Amino acid sequence: MKSILLSWQFWALLSAGCAALTAVFAKIGIEQINSDFATFIRTIVILLVLGAILIGSRQWQPLTSVSGRTYFFLILSGLATGASWLCYFRALKLGDAARVAPLDKLSVVLVALFGVFFLGEKLATPNWIGIALISAGAVLVAYKA
């Protein structure tokens, strides 16, 4: 069991399952309120839970132990996350979860492309085929006949 907890594949699949539940729970949760306010409530919950995890597991670090470069990129990441959440909740408010989530998951395609173009990562032919299939699949699942 210990080896599976050290596997990135396990955590990635668990993330996917949690993300799927996020869409379902959020769609139900935003029925009666503004999507931006719903995002605010969700963010508070995340802060409280993560703070408890850090304190409970003694992983809290002094703020001075983090470099300026790290802060800069984590702040950019936080801004991108916030923008993503606001857009996602707005889309859920306006559309079906079964169609919104697949288009949102085009982020997988964008991460692969950004990784190649900005991070210098290399992808093989099967990887490019997968990117094309994910793109086509997301569009087909989101299509409303």
pLDDT for position 23? 87
pLDDT of residue 2: 67
pLDDT in tens, the chain (145 residues): 568 888 888 988 999 898 889 888 999 999 899 999 999 999 999 999 999 999 999 999 999 999 999 999 999 999 999 999 999 999 999 999 999 999 999 999 999 999 999 999 999 999 999 999 999 999 999 888 7
Look at residue 4 in the predicted model and tell me its pLDDT.
Answer: 85
Give the model's pLDDT for residue 48: 97
What phi and psi, each to the nearest 5 degrees, are found at residue 120? 75, 20
Q: Hey, CA dihedral for 107, 66, 63, 5, is it positive or negative?
A: positive
Quick one: pLDDT at residue 139? Answer: 92
Handedness of CA 104, 105, 106, 107 (dihedral sign): positive
Are 86 and 112 within 8 A, CB to CB?
no
Question: Do residues 73 and 102 touch, judged by C-beta distance below 8 A?
Answer: no
Q: What is the pLDDT of residue 88?
A: 92
